[in-house]
Amino acid sequence: MPCSLSTEQIAFARRFHGHWCPGLAIGIRAAEWALLELGHDTDESIVAVTETDMCGVDGIQALVGCTFGKGNLLFKDMGKMAFSFYRRADGKAARLLLKSKADGPKDAGREEHAQWLMDAELLDLFEVQAARWTLPPKAHRLASLLCSVCGESTMETRTRRMHDQVLCLDCFEAREPRI
Ligand SMILES: [Zn+2]
Ligand SMILES: [Zn+2]
């Protein structure tokens, strides 16, 4: 079955990403799988893990509602076209890996390749596997501390203690406290 998303959904993803390309088409199709199997995110009910920071991830942010800002889009820099989705309510989860033969017709241009991706069967595009990572805990607000050196407010988990001082990572890495 070709992409079952509405023209409005696809147009929104294109506007969000800013151009049309095969990478976005891959992300849109992965998002389609997530919407069909797990539903749209409501208040961080869905978590996505992306193993690429290329175009495709914008399709997921736009359509599934897993975003970097909300903390329910996690980036594991593996350099693979793979996206995992988790539903917190019942633990349903899967990892979608783009199949190596999803390159489209031989010598296809970008436009043709993108269209081919939109027309393909979902299961011809992705290998659906068991999720690899345990579900990360729900994002919550953490306390911030002031860095003893630069005075900038820094999330506590990103600070380091040295000689009874609290240092932000910038200052800790510089290792030359000016006080
Ligand atoms: Zn793109
Ligand atoms: Zn500092």
Q: Is residue 68 part of a domain?
A: yes
Q: What is the mean pLDDT of residues 107-118?
A: 93
| 31 and 76 part of one domain | yes
CA of 170 to the centre of ligand 1 (A): 32
Q: Which of 93, 89, 14 is nearest to 59 (CA)?
A: 14
Of 179, 178, 157, give the one whose Cα is nearest residue 169.
157
Rg (CA), the chain: 20
The answer to whether residue 139 is domain-embedded is no
Domain limits at 121?
7-129
What's the rounded Cα separation, in Å, for the pair 166 and 177?
Answer: 11
- pTM for the model: 0.83
> Which residues, by Cβ under 5 Å, contact ligand 2, an ion?
147, 149-150, 168, 171
126-171 residue pLDDT tens: 999 999 988 767 766 678 999 999 999 999 989 999 888 999 999 9
Same domain? 80 vs 115:
yes
Q: How far apart are CA 94 and CA 84, in angstroms?
A: 6
Whether 107 and 155 share a structural domain: no
Residue 28 near residue 2, CB atoms below 8 Å: no
Closest ligand to the CA of 166 = 2
Structure confidence by residue, pLDDT tens digits, 49-68: 999 999 999 999 999 999 99
What is the number of the ligand closest to the CA of 17?
1
